[in-house]
Amino acid sequence: QKEVEQNSGPLSVPEGAIASLNCTYSDRGSQSFFWYRQYSGKSPELIMSIYSNGDKEDGRFTAQLNKASQYVSLLIRDSQPSDSATYLCAVFLSSGSARQLTFGSGTQLTVLP
Amino acid sequence: EAGVVQSPRYKIIEKKQPVAFWCNPISGHNTLYWYRQNLGQGPELLIRYENEEAVDDSQLPKDRFSAERLKGVDSTLKIQPAELGDSAVYLCASSSWGGANTGELFFGEGSRLTVL
């Protein structure tokens, strides 16, 4: 079982719709959760972080965390063609001196004009 | 503020040849990471430095890969000899002390390696 799993997609939504991206993780001790956006041929860029259960909103983006279900999601409201990218879920675990940020394989999102 | 700088952006070599990648992290970031990203996959950690000390190199293939971070700033990742399976994007990232304890990383543009 992969430590961080995402639906690989591709996911297509029309412009203006809500895009929903999902991620599950295997280690219950995971502490921090991130969504990185990666445009084709570019490096990952941090867009959202969430540390406690519930929702966190930043503009058109909402991250949701449910530690009991080991589930993280990202909602993009009013999707724009510029949101077309691969979205990487990343999970951070700190134990003693070990620090590990593990990435999922990413979900490719296409927003259709 | 300048971001993480990597070079070269692209490198094409024949198998068995050596290759080196260079990274300059964000000023003040004491934690530096090298990741490898294969096509269609997420980044995978190769090595993590705190200042000049390699604190996690468990995923670094030590028979052919080496890395150094002299003086705790710039870093170099070397592959010798390169194999076909090493074709990937090599990403350097850095974080502040706080970021290293929460997982907030800043990535460079990456070095795309093609081994023929």
Q: Can you name the residues that pair with A71 across neighbouring β-strands?
A: A24, A66
Radius of gyration for the alpha carbons in chain B, expressed in angstroms and rounded: 13
**Would you state the pLDDT for residue A2?**
65
Q: Does A96 touch chain B (CB under 8 A)?
A: no
Rounded to the nearest angstrom, the minimum Cα separation between B36 and chain A is 11
- Of B42, B45, B91, nearest to A105 by CB-CB distance is B42
Q: Does A40 touch chain B (CB under 8 A)?
A: no
Instruction: State the pLDDT confidence band at A1, using cuts at 50, 70 and 90.
Output: low
From CA A95, how far away is CA A70, in angstroms rounded?
18
Rounded to the nearest angstrom, the minimum Cα separation between A99 and chain B is 7
Measured between beta carbons, which residues in chain A are less than 8 angstroms from residue B105? 46, 101
Percent share of chain B, pLDDT over 90: 76
Percent share of chain B, pLDDT over 70: 96
Q: Can you read off the two tokens belonging to residue B2? A: 């300048």
From CA B110, how far away is CA B100, in angstroms rounded?
20
B42–A100 CB contact, under 8 Å: no
**Residue from B38, B107, B111 whose CB has the most chain A CBs within 10 Å, to mutate:** B107
Measured between beta carbons, which residues in chain A are less than 8 angstroms from residue B42? 4, 88, 90, 103-106
Instruction: State the pLDDT confidence band at B37, using cuts at 50, 70 and 90.
Output: very high
- Of A42, A91, A103, nearest to B43 by CB-CB distance is A103
Between chain A and chain B, how many beta carbons pairs sit less than 8 Å apart?
55
DSSP codes of every residue in A22-64? EEEES-TT--EEEEEEE-TTS--EEEEEE-SSEEEEETTEEEE
Measured between beta carbons, which residues in chain A are less than 8 angstroms from residue B106? 46
What is the residue-averaged pLDDT of chain B?
A: 92
From CA B46, how far away is CA A89, in angstroms rounded?
18
Average pLDDT of the segment spanning A37-51: 93
Average pLDDT of the segment spanning A10-34: 93
**Would you state the pLDDT for residue B100?**
65
Task: Report pLDDT digits (tens) over B62-93.
Answer: 999 999 998 889 999 999 999 999 999 999 99
Instruction: State the pLDDT confidence band at B96, using cuts at 50, 70 and 90.
Output: confident
Helix (H, G, I), strand (E, B) or coil at B19: strand
- Of A42, A92, A105, nearest to B103 by CB-CB distance is A92
pLDDT of residue B18 exceeding 70, the answer is yes
